[in-house]
């Protein structure tokens, strides 16, 4: 069966994944990639192999924490912002 979407004919695929299924697949892969990369960064903490300053470490943590805050904000922006006041 064909249908119109944005002016293009597309074949309806009954095996097409739902948005939730796609989210689970993509998010799982991306989180695993992040965890792997964080493990690689953790390897840089080995003082026997590397020399670094507290300032350099602070820059690393700030960059990671700033980006993490942006990710959390993006996920939380879709939650209801209206809160009813009660005593």
Which domain does 37 fall in, by range? 18-76
| Residue 3 forms part of a structural domain | no
Distance of alpha carbon 24 from alpha carbon 33, whole angstroms: 14
Predicted confidence band at 76 (pLDDT cuts at 50, 70, 90)? very high
Contact 25, 17 (CB under 8 A): yes
| Residue 62 forms part of a structural domain | yes
| Residue 39 forms part of a structural domain | yes
| Residue 40 forms part of a structural domain | yes
| Residue 30 forms part of a structural domain | yes
| Residue 84 forms part of a structural domain | no
**Model confidence pLDDT, tens digit, residues 15-50:** 889 999 999 999 999 999 999 999 999 999 999 999
Is residue 2 over pLDDT 90? no
Is residue 4 over pLDDT 80? no
| Residue 86 forms part of a structural domain | no
| Residue 47 forms part of a structural domain | yes
Number of domains composing the chain: 1
What is the rounded end-to-end Cα distance, in angstroms, of the chain? 56
Average pLDDT for the chain = 88
């Amino acid at each position: 069966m064909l249908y119109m979407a944005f002016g293009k004919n597309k074949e309806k695929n009954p095996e097409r994944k739902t948005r939730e299924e796609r989210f689970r697949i993509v998010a799982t892969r991306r989180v695993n990639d992040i965890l792997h990369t964080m493990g690689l960064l953790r390897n840089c903490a080995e003082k026997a192999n590397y020399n670094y300053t507290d300032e350099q470490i602070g820059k690393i943590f700030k960059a990671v924490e700033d980006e993490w805050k942006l990710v959390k904000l993006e996920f939380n922006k879709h939650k209801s912002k209206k809160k009813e006041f009660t005593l």
